[in-house]
């Protein structure tokens, strides 16, 4: 089987290494243009990416120290509801069904989490019931249910020496260095596995009835059985063979000013969580690495000009600390409903992109990559043909892209902010679209269960939809909770004990920066790594 991967960004190199690992007999060539740089943003990721890197054979210690990457425990949203400093940490946690929920969670096997499904009465149902009764407040949700809470609030290490002390099931993830991860995978895995690397610009894509016949490059023609399109937002191949593009109408941000920034004081600035900070006409991400952070203002140009957006973010970022000048990135939010068309398989950004919120980009990329090798293997093993393989790939890709889209846009619609025209307009869309009701339905959807997370169909399990409803002060009185009133006192005790257990466990922990410095960066200061890595 001859495979050509178009694109040498993070997506292309992750794809090359994984495809070669899973289909070792395939002849894999990766082509990237010397004239088109990789996007170089995209640093906050979700737990499956960590697993993906581990399965490629990378030990955290090896690759983190060489790229400046760190662990993240969640994503903090601030000022999205009232613009009065309100915040919520969206974390990686999983619901337990009633049967298991009063056990000591940390000592449980992961089985009980994976067996919890949408029809069960769940731990979050009890918390919601207490909230609806006025016994709990939105601010108590994080400490009552997230083992990561005090570690994030106080910037503490989740490790004792090398022992991870939080819930063992996918409770942490990563901030990765977008400029370095792809080349690290190239140099430390893909090339040594036998992936052929061509640096040449594709000048023309020649089509035939099967899709792509050949690629005409600066250095000659290239042909293959399958073409994996990892060309990013340019969508070099897929846009030529598929007319299945669908816009995401409710994503208001289509432009972003991005910039890498040095720290003044990493003890305070290097957060073990991503920051999503609401702005006057959109939001700003802040993703911290060991030696610097990346930040960007995603804005709606219907409400603010490019210059006004730049002025607004520059007021919040010390200009003296900019490592590079701000860059303006643009995209059209949407996705292909047939990202596998004929012999072209679009992966990650080239298959679609809504926006950076909630670290979804590389997750969708690795999900597409894994589904690609699985389906190509089925074809290779003669289990079924290309038509069935592409149907299955497209089905899964559409579920994932739409599930992500539906999790993102409520963050705008559910606001109660009235301090700018942008936020007032989002409130109007909530009413017009019925977004609050859509969020409620996801809380009991069969797609948003922990099991579906395990099967790679979602990264937004039930509890996180409830957390969204609570943070945005939605009406949750009509949520179907089905709790057993006889157990309510037990539940109250459970949340109290959970909260105090993690508070006291966190109390003795090292600061996050000190632990990272000692255990992942061989004692190197953040500024020394900054000098070594340059970016
Ligand atoms: C503002 C912003 C913030 C983001 N934040 C996050 C985040 O926090 N978390 C996350 O997971 N994702 C995020 N993403 C998405 C993330 O950036 C991408 O998923 C990631 O960078 C992978 O990109 P890629 O490899 O698909 O494409 P790119 O990095 O764009 O690479 C494209 C490749 O195609 C090649 N190419 C293009 N044209 C040609 C040609 N004619 N001939 C030969 N080669 C060609 C280029 O040379 C390049 O190598 C963000 C995206 C944006 C826009």
pLDDT, tens digit, for every residue of 16-43?
999 999 999 999 999 999 999 999 998 9
Q: The dihedral of CA 222, 225, 230, 236: what is its sign?
A: positive
Span 147-174, pLDDT tens digits: 999 999 999 999 999 999 998 888 999 9
Report whether pLDDT(527) > 70.
Answer: yes
Cα of 515 vs its chain's centroid, Å: 24
Mean pLDDT, range 450-460, rounded to an integer? 87
Q: From atom 41 of ligand 1, which residue's Cα is the shortest distance away?
A: 202
Query: Which of 362, 364, 401 for a ligand 1 pocket mutation test, highest count of atoms within 8 Å of Cβ?
Result: 362
At residue 286, the pLDDT reads 98
Determine if ligand 1 sits within 6 Å of the CB of residue 38: yes
Q: In which band, very low, low, confident or very high, does the pLDDT at 534 lie, cut at 50, 70 and 90?
A: confident
Q: What SS3 state is found at 359? A: helix
Q: From atom 37 of ligand 1, which residue's Cα is the shortest distance away?
A: 231
- Helix residue ranges per DSSP H, 347-409: 361-380, 386-408
Q: What is the pTM of this model?
A: 0.96
Q: What SS3 state is found at 512? A: helix
In ligand 1, which atom is closest to the CA atom of 298?
A: 1
Mean pLDDT, range 416-425, rounded to an integer? 98
Could you give the CA distance from residue 391 to residue 302 in angstroms, rounded to a whole number? 37
Determine if ligand 1 sits within 6 Å of the CB of residue 9: yes
CA of residue 403 to ligand 1 center, whole Å: 21
Q: What SS3 state is found at 286? A: strand
Q: In which band, very low, low, confident or very high, does the pLDDT at 108 lie, cut at 50, 70 and 90?
A: low
Closest by CA position to 280, among listed 420, 424, 433: 420
Span 176-194, pLDDT tens digits: 999 999 999 999 999 999 9
At residue 106, the pLDDT reads 53
Determine if ligand 1 sits within 6 Å of the CB of residue 365: yes
Report whether pLDDT(518) > 80.
Answer: yes
In ligand 1, which atom is closest to the CA atom of 12?
A: 25
CA of residue 284 to ligand 1 center, whole Å: 19
Q: Is the CB of residue 20 less than 8 Å from the CB of residue 26?
A: yes
In ligand 1, which atom is closest to the CA atom of 285?
A: 8
Report whether pLDDT(478) > 80.
Answer: yes
Determine if ligand 1 sits within 6 Å of the CB of residue 331: yes
> Burial of 321 by CB count in 10 Å (0-12 exposed, 13-18 middle, 19+ buried)?
middle
Write out the H or E segment, with its range, that includes residue 196.
Answer: strand 196-199
Q: In which band, very low, low, confident or very high, does the pLDDT at 107 lie, cut at 50, 70 and 90?
A: low
Determine if ligand 1 sits within 6 Å of the CB of residue 362: yes
At residue 53, the pLDDT reads 96
Closest by CA position to 402, among listed 486, 335, 470: 335
Report whether pLDDT(245) > 90.
Answer: yes
At residue 117, the pLDDT reads 85
Could you give the CA distance from residue 243 to residue 241 in angstroms, rounded to a whole number? 7
Report whether pLDDT(493) > 80.
Answer: yes
At residue 186, the pLDDT reads 98
Span 334-372, pLDDT tens digits: 999 999 999 999 999 999 999 999 999 999 999 999 999
Report whether pLDDT(442) > 80.
Answer: yes
Q: In which band, very low, low, confident or very high, does the pLDDT at 88 lie, cut at 50, 70 and 90?
A: very high
In ligand 1, which atom is closest to the CA atom of 230?
A: 26
**Assigned token pair, 184:** 């690290």
C-alpha distances (whole Å) from 392 to each of 340, 396, 475, 502, 515 are: 10, 6, 37, 43, 44
CA of residue 39 to ligand 1 center, whole Å: 4
Q: From atom 27 of ligand 1, which residue's Cα is the shortest distance away?
A: 232
């Amino acid at each position: 089987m001859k495979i050509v991967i178009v694109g040498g960004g993070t997506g292309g190199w992750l794809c090359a290494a994984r495809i070669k690992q899973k289909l070792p007999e395939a002849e894999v060539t990766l082509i990237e243009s010397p004239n088109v740089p990789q996007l170089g943003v995209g640093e906050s990721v979700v737990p499956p990416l960590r697993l993906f890197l581990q399965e490629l054979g990378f030990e955290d210690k090896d690759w983190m120290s060489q790229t400046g990457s760190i662990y993240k425990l969640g994503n903090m949203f601030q000022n999205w509801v009232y613009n009065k400093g309100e915040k919520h940490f969206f974390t990686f946690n999983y619901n337990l069904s009633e049967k298991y929920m009063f056990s000591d969670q940390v000592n449980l096997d992961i089985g009980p989490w994976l067996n919890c499904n949408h029809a069960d009465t769940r731990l979050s149902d009890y918390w919601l019931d207490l909230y609806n009764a006025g016994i709990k407040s939105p601010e108590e949700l994080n400490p009552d249910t997230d083992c990561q809470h005090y570690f994030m609030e106080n910037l503490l290490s989740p490790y004792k020496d090398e022992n991870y002390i939080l819930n063992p099931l996918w409770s942490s993830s990563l901030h990765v260095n977008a400029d370095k991860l792809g080349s690290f995978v190239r140099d430390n895995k893909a090339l040594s596995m036998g992936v052929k690397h061509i640096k040449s610009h594709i000048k023309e894509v020649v089509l035939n009835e099967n899709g792509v016949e050949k690629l005409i490059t600066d250095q000659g023609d290239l042909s293959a059985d399958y073409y994996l399109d990892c060309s990013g937002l340019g969508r070099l191949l897929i846009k030529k063979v598929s007319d299945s593009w669908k816009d995401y109408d409710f994503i208001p941000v289509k432009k972003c000013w991005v910039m890498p920034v040095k720290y003044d004081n990493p003890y305070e600035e290097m957060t073990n969580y991503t920051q999503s900070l609401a702005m006057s006409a959109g939001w700003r991400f802040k993703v911290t690495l060991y030696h610097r952070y990346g930040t960007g203002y995603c804005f709606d140009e219907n409400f603010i000009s490019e210059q006004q957006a730049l002025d607004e973010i520059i007021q919040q970022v010390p200009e003296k600390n900019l490592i590079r000048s701000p860059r303006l990135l643009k995209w059209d939010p949407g996705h292909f409903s047939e990202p596998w068309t004929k012999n072209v398989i679009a992966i990650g950004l080239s298959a679609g992109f809504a926006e950076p919120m909630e670290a979804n980009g590389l997750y969708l990329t690795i999900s597409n990559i894994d589904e690609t090798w699985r389906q190509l293997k089925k074809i290779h093993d003669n289990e079924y043909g290309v038509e069935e393989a592409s149907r299955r790939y497209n089905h899964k890709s559409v579920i994932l892209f739409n599930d992500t889209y539906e999790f993102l846009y409520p963050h705008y619609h559910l606001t109660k902010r009235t301090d700018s025209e942008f936020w007032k307009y989002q409130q109007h869309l909530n009413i017009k679209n019925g977004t609050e009701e859509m969020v409620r339905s996801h809380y009991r959807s069969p797609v948003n269960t922990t099991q579906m997370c395990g099967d790679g169909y979602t990264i937004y399990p039930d509890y996180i939809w409830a957390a969204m409803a609570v943070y945005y002060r939605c009406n949750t009185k009509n949520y179907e909770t089905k709790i057993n009133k006889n157990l309510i006192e037990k539940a109250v005790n459970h949340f109290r004990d959970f909260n105090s257990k993690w508070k006291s466990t966190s109390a003795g922990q090292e600061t996050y920066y000190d632990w990272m410095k000692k255990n992942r960066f061989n004692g190197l200061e953040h500024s020394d790594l900054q000098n070594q890595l340059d970016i």
